[in-house]
Amino acid sequence: GSALSLTGLWEVPHVQLQRLADLALLTPALPANSSRLTVTEARFADSRALVFRPAGARAGGPGLVWIHGGGWVFGSPDASAGFVTRLAMRINITAVAIEYRRAPEHPFPAAFDDCLAAVRSILANASSVLGVNPHRIMLGGDSAGGQLAASVTQALAKAEDQLTPRLQLLVYPITQLANFRTQSHRESYRSPLLEGSQVARSASMYLTGSIRHWRSVIGNGHASKSVRAAYAERLGESMPPESSHADATLAAKLEKLLIDPRHRSAAAAPPAYIVACQHDPLRSDAHLYSQRLEKSGVRVYYKYYPCYHGCLTEDKDAKRIVDDMA
């Protein structure tokens, strides 16, 4: 047949139309309630959430909060239900998948603010509402959701909140928005489920509220000299020279955002379990972030798989990843 590919979806000019196609083609039905699992809706802060409760989850046990991927533009708790259900059932824990405002209608910091508020609410109400131990909650996400999970984890740690996640669980995360010419971006630019141009389009919409800057982003033309220096200092490698799409105005606008002094050190972060995939433009992000955490004294479990970005939607790959996590 002529089913629309992920790459094709991204080329449709209207985000709303893309989301409709995403909903129709890529979002599975929620698992039906049964004697083994119940799925209910809830709200934490201003965010809708899905709560997955396996029958075997014990009161006062650990919990999981999951932030969906989709390039800050697509995705939903419903779309991540398959993986979240699989993980919750495998280790018998209550899991919560949260929703957040998406770009380009709501650029940064909307998604981050929503996730931070929702996670704080979940931690505060973990015992009374969810029946889980607030001191034993993992915070995770895939792709852009992994970036949000890592950012929220660091924000909570640096704010010295009384309740913080016990573990950050990051599956093929994007962990920096300065360098879109990393080794993996160059090697996997045409990766089947996530092309480098798609990452740049998403980042442009997330950072600026518009797709029109994506060519500058993909060539690192949005990164000022100060951003390049900070990148080299924090990650231990230099960025390639910018392409012909350098945009000094955009670089000046984004400089403060891309050099957030709050993220200078990751020493306060909890242990991390990081999944990287071989055929993925974001593979270098996962690797560089794991190295940065380790250099800051954070314990890291780094798992590498010979598969593609988005493999959580593939039954065989998802089962292997979940079994390793368990």
- 252-293 residue pLDDT tens: 999 999 987 655 667 789 999 999 999 999 999 999 999 999
For residues 136 and 126, give the distance between their C-alpha atoms in angstroms, rounded to a whole number: 10
We report the CATH number of the domain holding residue 183 as 3.40.50.1820
Relative to beta strand 61-67, strand 94-98 is: parallel
For residues 138 and 122, give the distance between their C-alpha atoms in angstroms, rounded to a whole number: 11
pTM score of the predicted model: 0.91
Give me the pLDDT at residue 153, please: 96
Q: Which residue type occupies 32?
A: A
In a domain, 259, yes or no: no
In a domain, 157, yes or no: yes
Relative to beta strand 272-279, strand 167-171 is: parallel
Digitized pLDDT (tens) for each residue of the chain, 326 residues in all: 333 344 444 444 556 656 565 655 555 667 777 889 999 999 999 999 999 999 999 999 999 999 999 999 999 999 999 999 999 999 999 999 999 999 999 999 999 999 999 999 999 999 999 999 999 999 999 999 999 999 999 999 988 888 999 999 999 999 999 999 999 999 998 888 889 999 999 999 999 999 999 999 999 999 999 999 999 998 888 998 877 789 999 999 999 999 876 556 677 899 999 999 999 999 999 999 999 999 999 999 999 999 999 898 888 899 999 999 98
User: Are the beta carbons of 13 and 19 closer than 8 angstroms?
Assistant: no
Backbone angles phi, psi at 266, to 5 degrees: -110, 15
Reported residue count of the chain is 326
CA dist 83 → 30, 58, 299 (Å): 11, 20, 25
> b/e map of 88-119 (b: 16 or more CB within 10 Å)?
bbebebbbbbbbbbbbbebbbebbbbbbbbbb
Question: SS3 for 77?
Answer: coil
In a domain, 85, yes or no: yes
Give me the pLDDT at residue 20, please: 60
In a domain, 275, yes or no: yes
User: What do you get for the CA distance between the two ends of the chain, in Å?
Assistant: 38
Domain that holds residue 293: 6-196+269-325
Helix ranges, the chain (H):
6-11, 15-26, 81-91, 110-125, 144-158, 183-187, 196-208, 214-218, 225-235, 248-258, 283-295, 315-325
User: Are the beta carbons of 119 and 96 closer than 8 angstroms?
Assistant: no
Give me the pLDDT at residue 17, please: 59
In a domain, 255, yes or no: no
User: In the structure encoding, which two tokens stand for residue 46, read together?
Assistant: 């201003």
The total of structural domains in the chain comes to 1
Give me the pLDDT at residue 287, please: 97
In a domain, 86, yes or no: yes
**To the nearest 10°, the Cα dihedral for 224, 285, 70, 41?**
-120
Q: Which of 214, 210, 141, 212 is nearest to 177 (CA)?
A: 214
In a domain, 236, yes or no: no
Which residues are bridge partners to 39 per DSSP? 52
In a domain, 256, yes or no: no
For residues 149 and 97, give the distance between their C-alpha atoms in angstroms, rounded to a whole number: 12
Give me the pLDDT at residue 26, please: 54
